[in-house]
Amino acid sequence: MATRLTLRIQERLGRLTQSEAKIAAVLLENHAFLETHTATELAGAAGVSKASAARFFRTLGYSDFDEARNQAREERNRTQPYAYSVASDDRAVLGRTLGEHLELEVTNLRRSFEELRPDIVRETAQLLADAPRVWCLGFGMEEGPVRMGRLMLSKLRPNVNLLGVHSGVWAEDLAMTGPRDALILCTLPPRPRTLSALTTYARTTRMNIITLCEHAFIPQAQRFSRIILPCHVASYGQVPTHATMTSMLRLLAIALHGQIGNAATQRSILINDIDEELDLNDQ
């Protein structure tokens, strides 16, 4: 499973020194190494000095080796109950255990984020930061994650809108879009026939389309997308899973916050102040 340490390494992989890259290789090859070995043993396994190992963890944002190891142990302890539930023989849905359901969702998440390149996330965050307006679009069941994604992004920057929120007013909505606007499209099958016309119009107006979709749709999405964020969506039965898509939208919000920094913080403060002034939180 991709731990927080693994994700930090992947994000900085291209910026590591030669010695740091050797340490990273040891940890990526054996995720449990950090829990079972000392800093000296890690340095020895990587063929670098102990000082290089200390610098490696500071580069990743940890105060020292012990902080990283404690985090790894905490993650292991937190996931142990799930490992136990997978072994349970209590059949719950479609002849499968709750543990098997959980395992499939975790596998979808793990595979999606392990395949995701950090530079693509940074590029997407830059597009969202620079866009005059951000639009979010989802059909059918994807409308739910899209609405949540729009809410997350609107806490960080202004002019984040839902496209097609009212039936029969596509022309009015599209008339408000323009060049360099970002369109976040969340799409899974079945897809409406209107999707092709909408994406064609968006390309004509030079919108930057960011598409979240399953792997089978990537060839079609490449025709109109500036960026594609593939989501593993394997599921049991006829009910699709949106866990990966929802998590991907949250990642984009976090990346946007990191990109615009203080502006996002100030907007969050403004929103909280308005909430308090209106006194509507408990209404």
Q: What digits encode the pLDDT tens for the residues 44-92?
A: 999 999 999 999 999 999 999 998 988 888 776 654 443 333 444 455 5
The predicted model scores a pTM of 0.68
Bridge partners of 184? 136, 210
pLDDT of residue 180: 96
Tokens of 160: 């984040």
Asked if 270 contacts 155 with a C-beta cutoff of 8 angstroms, the reply is: no
Mean per-residue pLDDT of the chain:
87
Q: How confident is the model at residue 15 (pLDDT cuts 50, 70, 90)?
A: confident
- Please tell me whether residue 213 adopts helix, strand or coil conformation: strand
At residue 247, the 3 state secondary structure works out as helix
- Cα Rg, the chain, nearest whole Å: 22
Q: Check if the beta carbon of residue 203 is closer than 8 Å to that of residue 78.
A: no
The encoded tokens of residue 82 equal 């799930």
Which range in 20-24, 52-56, 148-152 is most confidently predicted, on average pLDDT? Answer: 148-152
pLDDT in tens, 180-212: 999 999 999 999 999 999 999 999 999 999 999
Report pLDDT for 77.
65
Show the tokens assigned to 99: 């543990």
Question: Are the C-beta atoms of residues 23 and 53 closer than 8 Å to each other?
Answer: yes
pLDDT of residue 65: 92
What pLDDT does 93 receive?
A: 53
Q: What is the C-alpha separation between 58 and 55, in angstroms, rounded? A: 5
Closest C-alpha among 45, 14, 12 to residue 27: 45
Q: Which residue has the tokens 């992004």?
A: 153
Which has the closest alpha carbon to 179: 131, 227, 127, 221?
131
Q: What digits encode the pLDDT tens for the residues 204-218?
A: 999 999 999 999 999
Domains and CATH numbers, the chain: 4-87 (1.10.10.10), 117-275 (3.40.50.10490)
